[in-house]
Amino acid sequence: MISTIKGIARETLNFIIECSKSTYPNEFAGLLRAKDDIITEVILVPGTENSAHSAIIRMHMLPNMQTAGSVHSHPSANKSPSNADLNMFSRTGNVHIIVGHPYNEKSWVCYDAKGSQKVIDVVDCDLANDDLDDFFL
């Protein structure tokens, strides 16, 4: 697991925001991948179930790859993790993002694996030349 995440690519954050908007009023969920301490990718795991009350990621459907954490949306403005969220945090990495309604660059919060808020920067970087071979175990 990657534990030194310092930021998220603006393009990746925009993708998360748009996914959250498009699944509303249901929750959106995915896993995060990072390169050079920056979150650059969202993995949409096959079989993920979305409803207005939860999003369930089928972890057995995830290919053998390293993840930095998770991301999901809440259909309300509440961005606090639930007990179910904290359980998922403890199993999927060290950085977790919850996006709340109205789904914009100001309506997200990052947490560590224990549910404490964590500050990460939004950074502009070129994702077009990312070499994904490093991510597979």
pLDDT reported for residue 2: 44
Distance from C-alpha of 2 to C-alpha of 108, rounded to nearest angstrom: 21
Let me know if residue 135 belongs to a domain: no
List Cβ neighbours of 74 (8 Å cut-off, separation of 6 or more). 27, 98, 99, 100, 101
Structural tokens at position 81: 């993790």
Instruction: Starting at the earlier edge strand, list the strands of the sheet with 7-9.
Output: 108-111, 95-100, 69-74, 29-35, 38-43, 7-9, 121-123
Let me know if residue 39 belongs to a domain: yes
Query: What is the helix (H) or strand (E) element at residue 31, kind and residue range?
Result: strand 29-35
Let me know if residue 128 belongs to a domain: no
The one catalytic residue in 11, 18, 27, 41 is 27
pLDDT reported for residue 91: 86
pLDDT reported for residue 98: 97
Let me know if residue 132 belongs to a domain: no
In tens, the pLDDT along 1-58 reads: 445 899 999 999 999 999 999 999 999 999 999 999 999 999 998 877 787 788 877 7
Let me know if residue 129 belongs to a domain: no
33 neighbors 40 (Cβ within 8 angstroms) = yes
In tens, the pLDDT along 52-103 reads: 788 877 776 666 778 899 999 999 999 999 999 999 898 888 999 999 999 9
Task: Give the rounded distance of the alpha carbon of 69 from its chain centre.
Answer: 6
Q: For the residues 114-137, what does the mean pLDDT come to?
A: 76
Is residue 49 part of the annotated active site? The answer reads no
Query: How many domains is the chain built from?
Result: 1
Let me know if residue 134 belongs to a domain: no
CATH number of the domain bearing residue 15 = 3.40.140.10
pLDDT reported for residue 3: 56
Query: What is the helix (H) or strand (E) element at residue 17, kind and residue range?
Result: helix 10-23
3-state secondary structure of 60: helix
Let me know if residue 95 belongs to a domain: yes
pLDDT reported for residue 137: 45
pLDDT reported for residue 134: 53
User: Whose CA is closest to 73, among 13, 12, 5, 21?
Assistant: 21
Range of the domain at 74: 7-123
